[in-house]
Amino acid sequence: MKAVRFAAALYTRRLDTLFHGYVRRDPMALLRLAPGRRDPYSIYRQIRAGGDLVHTRLGNYVTASHPVCNAVLRDRRFGVRAAELTGRATPDQQVDMSFLDRDPPDHTRLRRLAQPAFSPRQMTGYRARIEQRAGELLDRTGAFDLVSAYAAPLPIAVITDLLGVPDADADRFSRHGATIGGALDGIRSLRHGARLKAAGDELDDVFAKLFVLRRTEPTDDLVSRILAAEGDQIRSAELLPMCRLLLVAGFETTVNLIGNAVNALLDHPEQWEALCADPAGLAEAAVEETLRWDPPVQRTARCALEDVEVAGRTVRRGQFVVTLLAAANRDPAVFADPDRFDIHRTPEADHLAFSSGIHYCVGAPLARLEAATALRVLAERMPGLRRAGAVQRRNAGIIRGPIHFPVDAGQPVLSRASADRADR
């Protein structure tokens, strides 16, 4: 029996050695593991060293080049509905993401329905509400968790208001968003799959009840407008996936954007001090530099719908190209000193944090407005903000951001309403 156990242990050790040797030689595998969550940027540099278009061990391609990523994302000869072509879904098709994983004409039809809610005119109407909510959330002193107390409830309040979701539970939605966002990398275990199903079922239940209400009592919200288009612009089976996408994508990107921005600013004290000295003038620049330097969405993938020449190589019909958005944003051929975080930077090119082409993020204007307002109000109210513990990152590779971020307010500047209460 001892000999059998020894042989089994030896065999397991050899398998483990082979596995880790394989992983060390495969940067794409590393991106899916702990090293990729801690520091994907060193792995991106490895991939970039291999050329503009690198063949992967699974027979596809990956690129860290800004021009190549941009070209692939804009090229209509690439699509997102790979399953019909290959029988395999792209990495971000573990969950039905409505128009995000549809090609034209379905993509065009569904996106056109959501687009008006995120127009510049609509954003103007939301500015005051976002600022008011940010101020209310910062009516606190002492230590708090930046994510659960500020970065998450702010965009959740905005998107649930836009959709018309009553009595939104920010903590619950935040947990579901993290679960669904983490599933974009793939289902890691039966337990993870069960959590994903539970999150999806709970969100679907919220919207199913809201659909019943809004079919009889429509109001001026996005869900009412989507329901009014049922049977014309949107099929009944597409209602839940679209609303789920608009809810989760409507806050998940912004939660991680705010978290990544504050993390970068506190890691660079001179940048935080500059923002605090001129919050109104530098908040938008800080958001754009964060989107370039450490974006919430790290990568996406496209499938060739026909043979396509890319960077001197032929990508065959059915092959994927993984576009490393975060790596493209640090391409030294495009951005000067790309690994330096600098909110005073004058960018040489547009970053790809919101993708490019027809799948450019529909909610980008809202995410930018929320994040810039969040940073500006935070800098105005808590210039003495400091870390109060270690940041815990999400267990995900495609979505990057903190899930717990303990901070201390220092000596906060009270809002007028708080000051009035204190005087009384």
Q: What CATH number has the domain bearing residue 395?
A: 1.10.630.10
The verdict on whether omega for the bond into residue 105 sits within 30 degrees of 0, i.e. cis, is yes
Q: Is residue 190 part of a domain?
A: yes
Residue found under tokens 């009384």: 424
- Which residues span the domain enclosing 185? 41-423
77-81, 165-169, 321-325 — which is least confidently predicted? 165-169
Q: Is residue 8 part of a domain?
A: no
pTM (two decimals): 0.88
Q: Is residue 141 part of a domain?
A: yes
Q: Band of the pLDDT at 36, cuts 50, 70, 90?
A: confident
The confidence score (pLDDT) of residue 415 equals: 61
The confidence score (pLDDT) of residue 125 equals: 86
Q: Is residue 69 part of a domain?
A: yes
List CB contacts of 387: < 8 A, sequence separation 6 or more.
266, 406, 407, 408
Per the prediction, the chain carries an average pLDDT of 87
236 versus 34: which is more confidently predicted? 236
Q: Is residue 19 part of a domain?
A: no
Q: Is residue 334 part of a domain?
A: yes
pLDDT at 88 over 70: no
169 versus 106: which is more confidently predicted? 106
Q: How many domains, the chain?
A: 1
Q: Band of the pLDDT at 397, cuts 50, 70, 90?
A: confident
Q: Is residue 144 part of a domain?
A: yes
The confidence score (pLDDT) of residue 93 equals: 47
Cβ pair 405, 263 in contact under 8 A: yes
18-27, 102-111, 233-242, 315-324 — which is least confidently predicted? 18-27
Q: Band of the pLDDT at 248, cuts 50, 70, 90?
A: confident
Q: Band of the pLDDT at 383, cuts 50, 70, 90?
A: very high
Q: Band of the pLDDT at 25, cuts 50, 70, 90?
A: low
Q: Is residue 392 part of a domain?
A: yes
